[in-house]
Each structure stands twice: as structure tokens, then as C-alpha cells.
Amino acid sequence: MSKSCDGWTTVSLVSLASAGIATLCPPPAEAAQYMSVEQAQKAAFPEADRFDARSLRLTPEQMRALDAVASVRQRGEIRQIDAWAGNKLLGTLYVDDVIGKVEWVTYALALGADGTVRSLEILEYRETHGYEVRTPSWRKQFAGLRIGTPFHFGEDIKNISGATLSCAHLTAGVQRLLALHAQSGKAAGK
Amino acid sequence: MTASTLRRIRPWLGTYVYVDVEAASQGIAEAAVEAAFERIANVHQAMSFHSAESDLARLHHTAHLAPTRVSAHTWAVLEQALSLAEASEGVFDPTIAPSLVRQGTLPAPDLPCPDEQGSWQDILLLDDEHVRFRRPLWLDLGGIAKGYAVDCAVEAMLQQGATQGSVNAGGDLRTFGSDPQGLPVTVRNPANPAEQIPLGRIRNRAVATSGDYFLGRSSGANGLSPIVDPQRGSRPSRCRSVTVIAENCCLADGLTKIVSLLGKDAQALLERFDACAAIIEPPEKLHVSPGFWEAVGHGTSPEGLMHA
């Protein structure tokens, strides 16, 4: 360890590990489930007394059509859960997966009966989380990125504070679900 | 009675925001999480650079023409920004947004771009949360606004009766509560983001990390492109990160920008704000300011460290 006249000290990163700090400070979990689908349903529609769930498997054509809305790798197996209070449709919860940095991020988007976003929750996030550093190279990926969307959860302050790529992907996933929801509404004559 | 714990993540502030809470009951924990996210949403909406309805957008449109009223949140962040700008003699300057727009880091508002002559000294905080600009300006409050949002979320959870918890918004982290162990703090190695460097643990304090060492000053282009060092392979040559520990996250985030630009010359400022800092300089150096090891729960330094 060396010390300079201003009181700063310099150590080698390698020695940090050998000093046993790693054992003092376990690395953050790699995978974590934050909410179950059931919890997400209840949280989004506390007044519901019934949930109707079905699975949608997107065809390659549907996936390509959604790429025109927002391009992101989406697993394509979506759970669509209608929330009811008696015979009144309260809205729909979509559970979907989009690619994060390398792994899938599972999220739940709740839409009211009028199609507006009620809530968005991350259910499962498999990537190393915890303390993020913002590196210039990471930021570079966002230079010039534009997201034509009325939603403001993802795109704003990222420019300085550095959104993760997976967050931008999530924004794209939400846009795709909204497009899908609008189509299914038309198809069902809602 | 066993405490209830809860963890939620939602996308805000351009990143994933993690809220962890412990409270006497599940109901209190849930209320605390909701209150935390509500505050974060409010701060986000007030200080979004993009949104045409944000306080920032209104300031950009009218503050050079007439005093413009802002929300209490925006006011608080502007006060902190000007305090840092004054203390650092302009090293920290929230009026750099036009150059960030030019670099493509921020999107262009639908307004004529101000020249780059403006500075923090052109921002006047008047009475009654009114702000006046001496000339057209574009402000970027991104980093410190994010830190401030984390602070607000922590306050909201305390108000709801949470006993302990933390908020982590991608690089801005704050903890509160009685856990004697504290929260582990690891920072990614800027040269190898897959590698996490454990620094120690913090209690009742805030940490911010920034890799944006070039922010606001030098030509960003060099900093943005990782330069391959032919001697050592693909290591980005000037990629370093700065971590600051301070009483609150808004301050910690602002100080990372100053330490990024001044390095050890920021020591007097760190002392003035009762903060400490660490700079990771790849491939293997870690420089820490006086008090840093104590702040992360070690003695004056971790035992067994080798000379760098």
C-alpha cells in the first residue's frame, strides 16, 4: 500500500481479494425472482375476484410484424391474464420475457380495460445485479437511440445516468405488448 | 415478531431501480415500497430531459424570458447543483447539456440550441421556487436527479415506518436502518464489467459510482471509444470508475463527476462535504481517499493489502 502526501492511498486490486474482503462481502445473487405471477396479478388488480389465464405463442410472422413496432428479442410465449370483478373486465396482465444483457427478463405489464398502463413489474431478473457502474463504452450503445413512445420510464435520465441495455429492451417489450393488445382488442371486437 | 421483507424492481430513471425494505409487517413493507416508487416517479417526471411537460422543459422554454416556477423537487436539486458548481468553481456544471446533445448523448429538445457560453452562474434561484436564467440554457440534472430520487425514496420508506432498507438505481445506492452488518458494496471493474470488486459494507450512507470521467470537459469522443492497447490486448485504455460515499445520494452522485475530473485534487471538496472516494484505475489500481476504508467498515485499511 502506498500513501501520497494528500492522504490518498493506493492498493492493488489483486490484493483486495487476497486480503479476504471477498469473503466479507459475498457477490450479489445472479438470479432472483422478485414477484410471482400470482403476486403480480393481485398487486395490479387488487379488486379482482377472478383471473382468466391463457398462453399465446407468437408465430414467426407475428414476431416479425412486432419488430416493426420495436425490435427486441422476445421469447414469444406470453401469458395473457384477464382480471375480472364479477362480470366486469378490469384489465389484462401480460407476462412476457425479453432479452436483457444476455438472459431473459421476465416482466408483468398490467393494462386497464381502456388499454392504459396500470403497472409494470419485474418478476425475474437473472443477470448479475447489485452495484452497477456506468462505463463510457456502455453509454456508447445509447448514443442517438430514439424510442418513439409515450412511455417515460426508460428513456429519459438514462442519457447521463446510464441505462442498462436491458432497460431499453424492456421498453421495446412493452411497446410490442401494447401493439399486440391493440390487435387482440380489434380481433375480439372489444 | 418477525420482520417482513420485500424486494421490488421497476424501471425508472432510465435504469432498473431496486427497492429493498424490512418492516414490522407485510402491510407496512408494501406501503413503503409503493411510497418509494411514487416519489421516484415524481422526481423522474419533474426532471426528465425528454418530456415536454417536465420542469426542465419549462425552464428551457421560458426561464430566460421570465421567472419560472418549479416543483420543490427540482428546486432542491438545483440548489444542490449550484452548491456543487460554486464549491468546485464550475468543474461541476449542470449547463453542459448543449454539448451532450451535440455529442448525441442527449436528444435535442425542440428549441434553438443555446450557445456554449452559458454557465451555472447564469442560473438564478429567486424567491418562492422561481428560477430565472440570464440567457437561454439547457440543463442536465440527470445524475444528481437520480441520486436525489434515491434519497426521496429512502425518506418515503422511513415515513411509512420501514425499519431498514436500501434503494439502488443503477449506480446510485443508499441504505438506512439498524442492520449492524451493513450492505455489501461491490463495484464492477471498469476494464472487465463481469468482474465485481468487493469494497466492504456501508450503513446509513449513500454511494454513487460513475464511469463518466470525461463528463462535461474533454472531447467525449476519445472517452467513448475503448482504445485497444496492442501490448495488453483488448483492455480499454482509459476506462476508470469513481465511487463516492456521502451522507446522501444526490451529493454522492454530484461528487463523482468532480472526482472524475479532478482526481485527488478533489480532496478539499470531499472533506468540505464530509465524503470520501475511491478511483479504480484498470488494470489493477485502486486509489482511496482518507476515510474511505473506515466508511466501508474496515479499519484504516483492510489487513493484508499488498503494495500497489
Q: Kindly report, residue by residue over A38-72, the tens digit of the pLDDT.
A: 999 999 999 999 999 999 999 999 999 999 988 88
Pick the residue from chain B with its C-alpha nearest to A119: B10
pLDDT at B229: 34
Q: Quote the minimal CA–CA distance from A5 to chain B in Å.
A: 10
* Rounded-to-integer distance, Cα B260 and Cα B262, Å: 6
- Tell me what percent of the residues of chain B surpass a pLDDT of 70: 85
- pLDDT-derived band of residue B121, with 50, 70 and 90 as boundaries? very high
Pick the residue from chain A with its C-alpha nearest to B199: A21
Question: Of A141 and B128, which is predicted with more confidence?
Answer: B128
- pLDDT-derived band of residue B211, with 50, 70 and 90 as boundaries? low
Q: Identify the CA nearest to B197 among candidates A128, A13, A20.
A: A13
What's the ipTM? 0.76
| Mean pLDDT taken over chain A | 73
Pick the residue from chain A with its C-alpha nearest to B200: A25
Q: Which of A129, A131, A157 sits opposite B13 (nearest CB)?
A: A157
| Cell numbers found for residue B108 | 435535442
For residue B104, is pLDDT > 50?
A: yes
> pLDDT per residue over A118-166, tens digit each?
888 888 876 554 333 333 333 333 333 233 333 333 333 332 233 445 5
**pTM more than 0.95:** no
Residues B206 and B172: beta-carbon distance below 8 Å: yes
Q: Which of B223, B286, B306 sits opposite A136 (nearest CB)?
A: B223
A134/B14 touch (CB, cutoff 8 Å), yes or no: no
Contacts of A158 in chain B (CB under 8 A): 13-15
Pick the residue from chain B with its C-alpha nearest to A13: B284
pLDDT average, residue stretch A11-24: 66
* Rounded-to-integer distance, Cα A31 and Cα B5, Å: 18
A133/B51 touch (CB, cutoff 8 Å), yes or no: no
Please list, residue by residue across B136-163, b when 16 or more beta carbons sit within 10 angstroms of its beta carbon and e when fewer do: bbbbbbbbbbbbbbbbbbbbbbbebebb
| Mean pLDDT taken over chain B | 84
A34/B7 touch (CB, cutoff 8 Å), yes or no: yes
Contacts of A160 in chain B (CB under 8 A): 100, 105-106, 140, 142-143, 212, 215
Question: Of A96 and A163, which is predicted with more confidence?
Answer: A96
Supply the DSSP symbol for A28.
P
Q: Quote the minimal CA–CA distance from B100 to chain A in Å.
A: 9
Q: Which of A14, A27, A161 sits opposite B143 (nearest CB)?
A: A161
pLDDT average, residue stretch B221-246: 51
For residue A28, is pLDDT > 50?
A: no
Q: From residue B247, how far is each of A92, B223, B250, B257, B275 by CA, in Å?
A: 43, 30, 9, 16, 7
Q: How many CB pairs under 8 A join A and B?
A: 266
Name which of B196, B228, B241, B253 to mutate to probe chain A: the one with the most chain A Cβ atoms within 10 A of its Cβ: B196
> pLDDT per residue over A77-88, tens digit each?
999 999 999 999
Cα torsion A70, A71, A75, A78 to 10°: value is: 10
Between A30-44, A66-80, B117-131, the lowest mean confidence (pLDDT) is in A30-44
pLDDT at A31: 53
Question: Of B185 and B214, which is predicted with more confidence?
Answer: B185
- pLDDT-derived band of residue B58, with 50, 70 and 90 as boundaries? very high
pLDDT at A163: 40
Which secondary structure element, helix H or strand E, spans residue A95, and what is its range? strand A88-99
Name which of B185, B186, B238 to mutate to probe chain A: the one with the most chain A Cβ atoms within 10 A of its Cβ: B186
A21/B200 touch (CB, cutoff 8 Å), yes or no: yes
